[in-house]
Structure 1
Amino acid sequence: MTFIALSQAPWRRPVHDASLPGLPPGWVMPGALSERILAWRAWLAGRTGDRWLLCQRRPDAFCAALIALWESGRVAVLPADDRPETLARLTTEVDGVLPDAPEASAATLPPPLTPSPAATAVVLYTSGSTGDPVRLGKRFDQLDAELAAHAMLWPLADSAVISQVSHQHIYGLLAGVLHPLSTGAPFCGDDCRYPEVLASRLAEVGRAGLTPVVVSSPAQLSRMPDHLPWTDYPAPRRVFSSGAPLASQHARHAEHLLRAPVIEIYGSTETGGIAQRRQARDSTWQPLPGVGLSFDSERLLLRSAFLETPDAWWQQPDRVSPRGDGFELLGRADRVVKIAGKRVSLAYVERTLAEAPEIIDARCIDLGRGDGRLGAVITAHGDAMPHEHATRHGLIQGLRSRLATHLEQVAIPRYWRCVDALPCNAQGKLDRGLIKRLFADLDDARAPRCWASIAGPPRPAP
């Protein structure tokens, strides 16, 4: 399986070079997508507009529609999630929305276009430090440069890729779809996020005489169950993880169960991949090929062909400490946190909560707990301030429902505290001591669940 850049249309390689027997339905054979691509191109032929919203959960449907957009000279716009508010907002920024499947069309098709390296391939969205979605275009030459680095470090010869993550985000798009597409390797996804399905897919790859490669995340690997007979299935050639740093104990446990190296990739939507590590050997992050690093105090600067402007230095919002040829991560320098690999703006959560008619103000807090979930401290108008369990429960459920139209479920705060006034110091900043007291009951069952007043100490909730 030879790597071919996207700008050279690798999906047009002969089917017999890319179609491998022995894999059941649900697997995508890159060289066997021609008919589905033609169906999408015929559907698009009678329509105008350059930017089309693409939100397909199944990798085969996604890949065929993506290629059809490219071969018709269009740009795929990928929403970060499928929340109603997200999709409704983006429909005003695109020329059309692709349906779940194309309607039959007898349109006469022009020859397919070969993408220009300088053309925009996809548009992705990510949260900025203010919580407002940031639109980011990725050219074909940016994607090709990063895919070439993947192919050099982690070739897919005689492999099949199993993805447990969404292809609507840059990591899942690159590692789970575009890397196998550019090398002709079969791949699958969608339902593979469940451990039992992952085990079945590993068995399918083994029966086809191939070696599995797993594209995963900390959320998946931290919950790897011991009860499944992992030794009965083929060991992956490697397991990838990205979206957030993987706890060292989870990395070791996943390597033990799957009998494969766990390789973490650090990066962002803006930068693409920056560095990689295998914690079983070293916790230090090592830069990917072609990524140049510099350090300014605790801030990371980089130059890379994966960036929109390759020759300019980019300042990453994470704090770092140089270590040899690489670095250690120290945490975020802004108010964007990672929850189960999802980037969540605390400011955006706060603004959304404050828009509720019952709420005066709100603060969202990363409590640094092992479950990774957020806390929320809210102040309510007098008639809405809950004074008993039933009214408190009703208020919180209403706020959770409001957030559910804007955020994925995992990003909604789990721990809630209602207070008379926000626990701030004289400078107007959150008082971490008071915050700790508000949530003390999470670690000490004897501590009362409190609501607080600036005028006095926390008092127990009724």
Structure 2
Amino acid sequence: MTFVPLTRLPWRRAITHQHSLPRHWVDPFSLTQRIDAWRRWLAGQPAGHWLLYRRHPGEFCAALAALWESGRVAVLPADDRPETLARLAAELDGTLPETPDEQSANHPTTPAYPESLNPSATAVVLYTSGSTGDPIRLAKRFDQLDAELAAHAELWPLADGCIISQVSHQHIYGLLTGVLHPLGTGAPFCGDECRYPEVLAARLQEAGDAGLAPVVVSSPAQLSRLPEHLSWHDLPRPRRVFSSGAPLAAEHAQRTESLLHAPVIEIYGSTETGGIAQRRQTQGSTWQALPGVELSIMDGSLTLRSPFLEDPQSGWQQPDRVAPATAGFELLGRVDRLVKIAGKRVSLDHIELSLTALPEVSEARCIDLGRTDGRLGAVVTLHDERMPHRHDTRHELIQRLRTHLSHHLERVAIPRYWRFVDALPSNAQGKLDRSLVDRLFADLDDNKAPRWLGERRPDPATCLLTLEVPERLVFLEGHFEEYPLVPGVVMVQWAIELANDSFGETGEFQGIERLKFQRVLRPGSRFTLQLTRRDDGIAFAIDSHEGRHCAGQVRLLTRHGGGHG
């Protein structure tokens, strides 16, 4: 399969594949009907920048190609939270509907598509993860994307291959590696539910049955949690496994190669720079530059020139400390993690290192929350036996951590806001991005919500949330003053609201069945909320280390007048 630049519309090439794959796979050359449907709908709509968010990679590609062929720019939000989409929609020229309604199409026939696209035109607008500050809006031209895709095709050709992506195509890494690379080479690809290990295993088998060599696009968050109970050794071996978005621990790289019997290739870069370098950690920790990327190291800082940059001729100062190594470099950490607190420069790295020196602390992230009081937040993972489950044990732990930090920091630099988690929450790119930080500390400005500490999705119909009862919860006021507790109606309301967040709009409330309250829930209590989608609504259960607190089933009516299908 030869790589064809995006500017030459590779999805319009008429090629018939001999392989047979299930319908949840995307064949790039089967997209033309969907692209044309979008083109008919877009005819007569305003030009300019259009909001595009689609989980399914096939529908995403069809809408993206239609925007490009009609001379529009696709704006890819970093997440699908309602407040994010509403804010962007108000700033842009249009928002694509869920599907291109043919009855309301603005043109009875499909407008002719161009022979090529302008290389200097803006193709997409993306947002940085915000893991080191507020998300930044960045535009990418077609020539930037095509230059990087050509480098991918040179290093990692997809002949007789296919892509299985576990990461979001709304970000630069997943967009390039999981969608645009196979789109430009005609290789089948899939995503959506592949983040679940059981689905990944099924897709590997499907690729092997079709005679294709699968390539897995993943992240540290996904690879660190690969379950050993699945029979990976009985499945077709991937040609390679990609990881990006955050550093992959050497032990996880080795474990992944042992389980999947495939080389694990890490890609280092950012939304601003595109890819910079790559490595295979089981063969060495040194990073090697991607084709066309020129690197120089001065005083421990990395400067690069790259065809993937907005200005390829200007040097870009990368905010990472590095050390030169044979044929490449070693990464040493960020140089931009200094903040000013009360006029004093404070290193977030120093605070994190001080915390992880304690035996009970596994990982720590210190965060500038940008609050008016100027104080920092800390997200800390602990060994299971040290996790606080009540207000008094949480208070004692915070005091112990603050006392420890007082030997290393001035008082004003010690974090004021603490969140204790089972594992650092991460997005599809493996990062603790700004949207996750906002969720962790949202209760500081919302006195009606539980404190969110993370979630797991064992399967598409189940969500397990780790939560905590904030001591300043408004519902505690006047409710048994000497013995404050969370009212039962509030627990049910939390279940419904968080189900909407987890599964999307779930439907109109119709009633509650099998509702049981077994234990009270006190301020400061740590608990889990299990949500399960049902045909007629959701089932929920609230548990803590004390046992079951409540459970029930909420009946919901969808907009179509029936239950969930």
CA contact (8 A) 2:453 2:468 kept: no
Read off the aligned partner of 1:79 and give its amino acid letter. P
CA contact (8 A) 1:72 1:112 kept: yes
Deviation by residue 1:102-135 (Cα, 9 ceiling, x = unmatched): 1112533331122111111100011568733311
SS in 1 for 2:283: coil
Q: CA deviation at 1:332?
A: 1.4
Partners of 2:99 and 2:41 in 1: how far apart?
10
SS in 1 for 2:136: strand
Partners of 1:345 and 1:91 in 2: how far apart?
32
CA contact (8 A) 1:118 1:140 kept: yes
Partners of 1:397 and 1:73 in 2: how far apart?
39
Of 24, 27, 36, which aligns to 2:25? 27
**Counterpart in the other structure of 1:3:** 3
Q: How many residues align?
A: 388
Q: 1:32 to 1:203 in 2, by over 3 A?
A: same
SS in 1 for 2:318: strand
**Counterpart in the other structure of 2:255:** 253
Read off the aligned partner of 2:377 and give its amino acid letter. C
Q: 1:200 to 1:330 in 2, by over 3 A?
A: same
Deviation by residue 1:25-84 (Cα, 9 ceiling, x = unmatched): 110000110100000001100211310000000001100000000000000000011122
SS in 2 for 1:305: coil
Of 212, 223, 227, which aligns to 1:221? 223
SS in 1 for 2:333: strand
**Counterpart in the other structure of 1:240:** 242
RMSD: 3.5
Report 1:132-281 matches (<5 A).
132-281=134-283
**Counterpart in the other structure of 2:359:** none
**Counterpart in the other structure of 1:378:** 416
SS in 2 for 1:308: coil
Q: 1:130 to 1:189 in 2, by over 3 A?
A: closer
Q: CA deviation at 1:268?
A: 0.1
Q: CA deviation at 1:318?
A: 1.2
Q: CA deviation at 1:295?
A: 1.1
Partners of 1:221 and 1:309 in 2: how far apart?
34
Q: 1:58 to 1:159 in 2, by over 3 A?
A: same
Read off the aligned partner of 2:94 and give its amino acid letter. G
CA contact (8 A) 2:78 2:129 kept: no
Task: In structure 2, list runs of 5 or more residues that go unmatched.
Answer: 339-347, 350-364, 385-400, 402-413, 419-439, 456-464, 472-523, 525-565
CA contact (8 A) 2:242 2:265 kept: yes
CA contact (8 A) 2:292 2:306 kept: yes
SS in 2 for 1:133: coil
Q: 1:369 to 1:264 in 2, by over 3 A?
A: farther
Q: CA deviation at 1:368?
A: 8.4
Q: 1:202 to 1:118 in 2, by over 3 A?
A: same
Q: 1:228 to 1:326 in 2, by over 3 A?
A: same
Read off the aligned partner of 2:376 and give its amino acid letter. R
Partners of 2:302 and 2:441 in 1: how far apart?
39
CA contact (8 A) 1:276 1:286 kept: yes
Read off the aligned partner of 1:346 and give its amino acid letter. I
Q: CA deviation at 1:307?
A: 0.3
Deviation by residue 1:283-326 (Cα, 9 ceiling, x = unmatched): 10000010000112121100000000001100011111111221
Q: CA deviation at 1:365?
A: 3.3
**Counterpart in the other structure of 2:69:** 71
**Counterpart in the other structure of 2:502:** none
Task: In structure 1, list runs of 5 or more residues that go unmatched.
Answer: 339-343, 381-394, 419-448, 450-462
CA contact (8 A) 1:81 1:408 kept: no
Partners of 2:204 and 2:253 in 1: how far apart?
19
**Counterpart in the other structure of 1:110:** 111
SS in 2 for 1:322: strand
Structure scoring higher RCO (CA < 8 A, sep ≥ 6) equals 1
Read off the aligned partner of 2:416 and give its amino acid letter. I
Partners of 1:200 and 1:173 in 2: how far apart?
23
Read off the aligned partner of 1:164 and give its amino acid letter. Q
Partners of 1:95 and 1:151 in 2: how far apart?
34
SS in 1 for 2:207: helix
CA contact (8 A) 1:40 1:64 kept: yes
**Counterpart in the other structure of 1:93:** 91
**Counterpart in the other structure of 2:335:** 333
SS in 1 for 2:182: helix
Deviation by residue 1:226-281 (Cα, 9 ceiling, x = unmatched): 10001111000000000011000000000000000000000000000000000110
Deviation by residue 1:129-165 (Cα, 9 ceiling, x = unmatched): 8733311110000000000000000000000100000
CA contact (8 A) 2:366 2:376 kept: no
SS in 2 for 1:223: coil
CA contact (8 A) 1:216 1:239 kept: yes
Q: Does 1:14 align with 2:27?
A: no
Partners of 1:173 and 1:23 in 2: how far apart?
22
Q: Moved runs in structure 1, 4+ residues, more than 4 A?
A: 127-130, 366-371, 400-405, 407-410, 412-418
CA contact (8 A) 1:46 1:107 kept: no
**Counterpart in the other structure of 1:363:** 376
**Counterpart in the other structure of 1:304:** 306
SS in 2 for 1:109: coil
CA contact (8 A) 1:129 1:334 kept: no
SS in 1 for 2:80: coil
Task: Name the TM-score, length of structure 2 as normaliser.
Answer: 0.63
**Counterpart in the other structure of 1:131:** 133
**Counterpart in the other structure of 2:57:** 59
**Counterpart in the other structure of 1:121:** 123
Q: 1:33 to 1:129 in 2, by over 3 A?
A: closer
Identity value in percent: 62
181-190 or 92-101: bigger deviation:
92-101
**Counterpart in the other structure of 1:442:** none
Q: CA deviation at 1:2?
A: 1.1
Q: 1:80 to 1:3 in 2, by over 3 A?
A: same
Q: CA deviation at 1:204?
A: 0.2
Partners of 2:335 and 2:468 in 1: how far apart?
23
CA contact (8 A) 1:126 1:135 kept: yes
**Counterpart in the other structure of 2:44:** 46
**Counterpart in the other structure of 1:398:** 443
**Counterpart in the other structure of 2:495:** none
Q: 1:128 to 1:42 in 2, by over 3 A?
A: same
Task: Name the TM-score, length of structure 1 as normaliser.
Answer: 0.77
